[in-house]
Amino acid sequence: MSIALDLSSNYLTGELPVAVKNLKHLGEFYVSQNRLSGWLPNSLGKCASLEYLYLDGNLFGGPIPSSLSSLRGLVELDVSGNNLSGGIPEFLVTLGELKYLNLSFNDFEGVIPSEGVFKNASATFVEGNNKLCGGNPELHLSRCNSKTSSNTPLRVKIAIAIVILGVALVFSFFLIVWFRKKKKQQPTTTFGIIYKGIHEESGAVLAIKVLNLLNRGASRSFLAECEALKNTRHRNLVKVLTAVSGFDYQGNDFKALVYEFTEKGSLEDWLHPSIDMNEQETVRNLNFFRRVSVAIDVAHTLEYLHHRCETPIIHCDLKPRNILLNEEMVAHISDFGLAKLLSTDGVSYSANQSSSLRFRGTIGYAPPEYGMGSELSTKGDVYSYGILLLEMFTGKRPTDERFKESLSLHNFVKSTLPERITEIIDPILLQQRDTRGTIANITRNRNILGNGRHLQCLISMLKIGLICSGESPSERMDMNDIVTKLCSIRDKLHPTRLHSED
């Protein structure tokens, strides 16, 4: 069984420690999508058992270290989306087990090899490196220029160099702008990319999730999602219209899932809106009533998955990014790529089996017992739901940099309730419009959200979040009880109706 270490999609900074050389029996190492910088340490070459090495989406610079030539069993290497430079190392040609190589969007230069893994254009990715040339014609790189004639005057050479540099800078600028927009329009999920499409005949807008089958576990994710959703029927589940499994025009495996499109994006977009410097800021504020409504939608869905399906389902990756909102701001749970099905004896099973912790959720939302090797259970989803509630009403991610050592989002909320509640709630909830359309400037001496009833309801929501996110599974509530309590809170808010402004 391969030993795996997955630190992907966090906020890790600094250099990759030289001490990585001590991980001599590590078979899989993932640090994708962090903020790591510096040169790749030569000590990586000491990890002789490595088969899967993913360093993509960081700020690494310098060349690929020659010490990696000792990783004779390397099957997949991804260093895309960094600032790596220099030539393509010739030793990559000699790695006979290498089946996937992604060097995209770096600053490599020179002639690209044509042997080894580079023979297979469907297994080698080099786009976004404008100084590369030659290689397999299917890579569509420019031909390598011959040396400039020695008879050419120096001033002509300088003029040519300046023109080429100017064109390259302009082209690079547009390439960067295009790539950033491309990434924004195509959000990634656990194992693929979501595209927005339009049905040619009906004109219906669709969301199409195309699996990246070169990612480890993508095929299992596809099977798990199909298995989990094939017999489910609930208004708050994202609706799968069809699944596609076949081959693309190059004869490679192709798998995709087609969903109904959700117009308002994800809950992540509303709780933590990002600001694009090239676009006008769009104000996305969820008021208190909308948040309560979304919380109830999600709770009803989990209660259905855990207790009303013929085969109970554990979602395993509940977080704001996997909760989508339609035009009416109704919440839908999505991305069942990590889902597990419970057999009649309570044991989890799925097409997506793996020994790696990579498949046990997202850091900050996954329950602590999963990190200690405990069996998956519905109480794991309850923990994730509790963290989700705390995040929705405080506006703080569980991975916020302030939560270090013994301080967590759970402890942060627990230490302030109920007397200091105004210190922890999302500041947006302190600015609710009254019936005359003016801003209520709430202070500690005034009732939050307008009156005491709303204050008590908010405290009750946070208390449910604390119970659900308790460290021990036995302390957590069942989704049936959670739904009952949330509906009671909603009833106390009436006759107040949902505000139309978001």
Provide the token pair at 261: 């499109």
Provide the token pair at 237: 């589940």
Cα 160 from Cα 124, distance rounded (Å): 32
> How many Å is the Cα radius of gyration of the chain?
26
Write the CA distances from 410 to 283, 331, 386, 394, integer angstroms.
28, 24, 9, 11
Annotated active-site residue 381? The verdict is no
Query: Which strands, in side-by-side order, build the sheet including 192-198?
Result: 192-198, 205-211, 253-260, 240-247
Cβ neighbours, 10 Å, residue 409: 24
Of 56, 297, 317, 335, which is the active-site residue? 317
Cα 290 from Cα 305, distance rounded (Å): 23
Q: Which of 88, 33, 81 is nearest to 61 (CA)?
A: 81
Residue 429 sits at φ, ψ, to 5 deg, of -75, -10
Give Cα 284 distance to the centre of its chain.
20
Before 495, cis peptide (omega within 30)?
A: yes
Give Cα 127 distance to the centre of its chain.
22
Query: Per residue, what are the HEC states of 379-431?
Result: HHHHHHHHHHHHHHHHCCCCCCCCCCCCCCHHHHHHCCCCCCHHHCCCHHHHC
Cβ neighbours, 10 Å, residue 46: 17
Cα 80 from Cα 101, distance rounded (Å): 9
Active-site residues, by number, are: 317
